[in-house]
Amino acid sequence: MELFEALGLNVKILLAQLVNFAVLLFVIYKFGYGPIMKVLNDRQNKIEKGIKDANEAKEKLVEIGNKEKEVLAEARREAQEIIKKAQAIAEESKAEVVEITKQEAAKIMADTKKKIEQERAQIMSEVKGEISELIITATEKIIGKKMDAQEDKRLVEEIVGGIK
Amino acid sequence: MELNISLAPDILFYIGSLPVTNTLIGSFVISAVIIAAMLLVKKRLKKDTPGKFQNLVEFLMSGAYDFVVSIIGSEKKAKKIFPLAFTLFIFILVANLATFIPGQAAVTFNRGGESVAIFRAVMADYGMVFVMTMITVILVQIVAIAVHGPFGYMGKFFNFKSPLSFFLGLMDIVGELAKIVSLSFRLFGNIFAGEVLGAVMLFLAPFLVPLPFMFLGLLSAVVQAFVFAVLTVVFVKLASEIEEEELVEEASM
């Protein structure tokens, strides 16, 4: 093989170069390619995770904001309801109070009327007694003599009764 | 002064029966440099706060990785082929660029009265290129067998359905062999030609005139490293793809 000789091909040298290249390949694979690619992948994963987390956080924030609004709206609605209820209750109790007051007033009115009636009756009788007495005294003075007290009284009462 | 150009690398000395050539030493030195750099990276690898050096390495690696993914179209396949493609690229690149370190040609070794250059462009040694090419080509065959199965793989080359497909099958064998030649001689030819051109220019006009050729050599140094690695990826991609025809055949079976 003249061509091989001319090119300087020698099986032993070829083997040596093959081994040399294999070692080089192995070292680059083991210490260069492997670790560097791992580092690059790790970093990429980390960045992707960071971005994903950030997006999730953003979404959650929006969600929380919406929930907050919802809760606020709910609270406002409930407050409105409570106020309405309270108003209704107040209205009702107001009517009740008015009713009770009216009744009470009517009762007081009636009581007062009765009392006045009684008092008048009492005053009337008292006045009657006093008048009789006055009449007796007056009559005594006029007549000048005193009748039997019992007889007198009976007579006067008879008269007064006649007057009435 | 005489111009000394040899197609084969020069043998410096023998260790036992192993002839040590200048390119063999060169490839060892370059491997050692790359390994040292990788160990340095590994040692100073920081997870979250990369330094400038680590940033540069990360940028190179992730850029190369994304490029491989864009070629091969699948993250899973890219993960498998990337270490080899990247190693090929870095090794060829560093080996090619190392030839531009000035003063190397002056370092010679005295072998029985005649002086031999110790440094020679590693890729200007067909042996080294041949080894890398064989790695790629054999890998491609392995991938093809793994994807298509041993019979599917053989069936691609020995197809008895019709005379035409039989002929095309034989052509495929030629194609596979041509891969070895095209892949290896592209790299070897470019670098060796660059070396020879540089040497001739230096010989004819040592000042300024060789400069444009050196720029050209710099360009081809990067491009050839890139092309070799990318072709490796492309070959593997082609081998790992199941063609539609085959899918139809499998389905109808």
B166 falls within a domain:
yes
B38 falls within a domain:
yes
- The pLDDT confidence band at residue B23, using thresholds 50, 70 and 90, is confident
Question: Which has the higher per-residue pLDDT, B251 or B157?
Answer: B157
Q: Which chain B residue shows the shortest CA-CA distance from A39?
A: B47
Q: Which residues of B touch A (CB under 8 A)?
A: 6-9, 17-19, 21, 24, 27-28, 31, 34-35, 38-39, 41-42, 45, 47-48, 50, 57-58, 61-62, 65, 82-84, 86-87, 90-91, 125-128, 130-132, 135
Q: Which chain B residue shows the shortest CA-CA distance from A5?
A: B8
Please state, in angstroms and rounded to a whole number, the distance separating the CA atoms of residues A125 and A26. Answer: 142
- Mean pLDDT, residues B46-59 taken together: 75
Structure tokens at A56: 């999730």
User: Are B132 and A21 an interchain contact pair (Cβ–Cβ within 8 Å)?
Assistant: yes
B1 falls within a domain:
no
B2 falls within a domain:
no
Q: Residue A111: count other Cβ atoms within 10 Å of its Cβ.
A: 10
Find, among B192, B210, B193, B211, the residue nearest to B201 by Cα: B210
- The pLDDT confidence band at residue A65, using thresholds 50, 70 and 90, is very high
Collapsing DSSP to helix, strand or coil, B9 comes out as: coil
Q: Residue B168: count other Cβ atoms within 10 Å of its Cβ.
A: 14
A-chain CB neighbours of B26 within 8 Å are none
Boundaries of every domain in chain A = 2-163
Please state, in angstroms and rounded to a whole number, the distance separating the CA atoms of residues B146 and B138. Answer: 12
Which residue shows structure tokens 């990276």?
A: B41
Query: In the predicted model, is pLDDT for residue A57 greater than 90?
Result: yes
Q: Hey, of A4, A5, A20, which one would you mutate to test binding to chain B, going by the most B CBs within 10 A of its CB?
A: A20
A20 touches chain B (CB under 8 A): yes
Which residue shows structure tokens 């007051």?
A: A101
Query: In the predicted model, is pLDDT for residue A8 greater than 70?
Result: no
User: Are A46 and B48 an interchain contact pair (Cβ–Cβ within 8 Å)?
Assistant: yes
| pLDDT tens readout for residues A138-160 | 877 777 666 677 777 777 788 77
Domain hosting residue B231, numbered range: 11-252
| pLDDT tens readout for residues B54-91 | 778 778 888 888 888 888 888 888 888 888 888 888 88
Query: Could you give the number of structural domains in chain B?
Result: 1
Give every CB contact of residue A159 below 8 A, 6+ residues apart in sequence.
A135
Kindly report the CA angle at B179 between B132 and B240, in degrees rounded to 5?
A: 85
Query: In the predicted model, is pLDDT for residue A24 greater than 60?
Result: yes
Kindly report the CA angle at B34 between B31 and B38, in degrees rounded to 5?
A: 135
pLDDT at position A71 is: 95
Query: How far is B56 from chain A, CA to nearest CA, in Å?
Result: 11
Chain centroid, CA A4 distance in Å: 103
pLDDT at position B189 is: 86
Query: In the predicted model, is pLDDT for residue B253 greater than 60?
Result: no
| pLDDT tens readout for residues B164-208 | 888 888 888 888 888 888 888 888 888 888 888 877 887 787 788
For A36, A164, B54, B151, B233, the CA distances from B47, given in Å and listed in that order, are 9, 130, 10, 47, 29
Residues constituting chain B:
253
| pLDDT tens readout for residues A90-117 | 999 999 999 999 999 999 999 999 999 9
A-chain CB neighbours of B19 within 8 Å are 10, 12-13
User: Are A28 and B128 an interchain contact pair (Cβ–Cβ within 8 Å)?
Assistant: no
